[in-house]
């Protein structure tokens, strides 16, 4: 009788461990569960915010397969924000590699570069094509007001309110107090990080543009989620 109780206790512990791990597990390809599960539950998938998926039992090798069937994207806006943040991180990582690069009017290399060429090269690293000049770049993307600027947004400047765009930078960070810092090729300092809140740059600021999320198609995201019925495996 005692032996039977011990066996049942082990089974309960294994089942509980597998269930608790799987319910918080992020599914990925080419992985396998160590233990089988005995019920259905919600499983998260990295492509989306939250996918309703079915976990089914497989008798072979104590593995469990995950079928991403009838996937439901609960909040497309959150997914888009997550994608934007990832792209902004990659963009700024590339931009920071230029810090200290000398400024050169008309320059297009790391030996010397101007503001618009700097922006063009950084976005090209993410396979995003932008025009060569700052005024042409200001015609791309979607308008963003100053108080809504985020990392990765472009900001444009002009010498006077009536003069044309003559300088461009990339928002590098926004402090908890709302101070905006941007990375740009300065004619006096080369590629550097400056504050938009200084009197000099604040007076010359003209507009902000968002490039990174202008190609995110929310409807397409929904369609991809609904059509995604491939099998994936996961492990604990």
pLDDT tens digits, one per residue of 40-49: 333 334 444 4
* Exposed / middle / buried, residue 48 (Cβ in 10 Å: 0-12, 13-18, 19+): buried
Structure tokens, 44: 């998260």
Residue 84: pLDDT band with limits 50, 70, 90 = confident
CA 63, chain centre distance (Å)? 32
Average pLDDT over residues 149-171: 97
Number of Cα atoms under 13 Å in the Cβ half of residue 101: 23
Query: So what's the pLDDT on residue 214?
Result: 61
pLDDT tens digits, one per residue of 98-132: 999 999 999 999 999 999 999 999 999 999 999 99
Query: So what's the pLDDT on residue 226?
Result: 54
3-class DSSP assignment, residue 36: coil
**pTM score of the predicted model:** 0.61
Q: Is 21 an active-site residue?
A: no
Q: What are residue 171's DSSP bridge partners?
A: 182
Task: Name the CA dihedral angle for 100, 133, 90, 24, rounded to a multiple of 10 degrees.
Answer: 150
Q: Residue 60 above 70 pLDDT?
A: no
Helices 218-227 and 76-96: crossing angle in degrees, nearest 10, is 110
Q: What's the mean pLDDT when you consider all of the chain?
A: 74
5 vs 231, higher pLDDT: 5
3-class DSSP assignment, residue 71: coil
Is residue 61 within 8 A of residue 82, CB to CB? The reply is: no
Q: 76-210 is classed in which CATH architecture? A: Alpha-Beta Complex (3.90)
229 vs 6, higher pLDDT: 6
Residue 83: pLDDT band with limits 50, 70, 90 = confident
Q: Residue 227 above 70 pLDDT?
A: no
Query: So what's the pLDDT on residue 170?
Result: 99
Q: Determine the Cα angle at 54 with ends 53 and 55, to 5°.
A: 120
3-class DSSP assignment, residue 157: strand
Q: Residue 80 above 80 pLDDT?
A: no
Least Cα distance to 56 among 43, 67, 68 occurs for 67
Query: So what's the pLDDT on residue 156?
Result: 99
Is residue 53 within 8 A of residue 34, CB to CB? The reply is: no
Residue 18 to residue 60: CA distance in whole angstroms: 16
Q: Is 115 an active-site residue?
A: yes
Number of Cα atoms under 13 Å in the Cβ half of residue 149: 28
| Domain edges within the chain | 2-74, 76-210
Q: Residues 21, 159, 184, 222: which is the catalytic one? A: 184
172 vs 1, higher pLDDT: 172
Query: So what's the pLDDT on residue 113?
Result: 98
């Amino acid at each position: 009788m005692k032996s039977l109780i011990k066996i049942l206790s082990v089974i309960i512990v294994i089942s509980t461990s597998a269930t608790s791990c799987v319910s918080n597990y992020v599914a990925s390809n080419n992985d396998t569960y160590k233990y089988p599960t005995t019920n259905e539950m919600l499983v998260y998938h990295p492509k989306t915010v939250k996918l309703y998926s079915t976990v089914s039992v497989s008798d072979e090798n104590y593995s469990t397969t995950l079928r991403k069937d009838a996937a439901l994207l609960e909040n497309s806006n959150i997914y888009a924000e997550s994608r934007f943040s990832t792209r902004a991180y990659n963009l700024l990582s590339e931009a920071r590699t230029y810090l200290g690069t000398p400024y050169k009017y008309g320059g297009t290399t790391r030996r010397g570069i101007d503001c618009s060429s700097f922006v063009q090269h950084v976005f090209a690293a993410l396979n995003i094509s932008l025009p060569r000049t700052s005024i042409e770049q200001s015609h791309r993307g979607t308008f963003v007001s100053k108080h809504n600027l985020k990392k990765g947004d472009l900001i444009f400047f002009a010498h006077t309110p009536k003069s044309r765009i003559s300088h461009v930078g990339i928002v590098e960070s926004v402090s908890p107090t709302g101070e905006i810092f941007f990375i740009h090729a300065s004619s006096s300092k080369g590629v550097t990080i400056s504050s938009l809140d200084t009197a000099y740059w604040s007076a010359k600021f003209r507009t902000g543009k968002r490039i990174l999320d202008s190609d995110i198609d929310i409807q397409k995201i929904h369609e991809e989620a609904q059509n995604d019925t491939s099998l994936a495996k996961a492990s604990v």
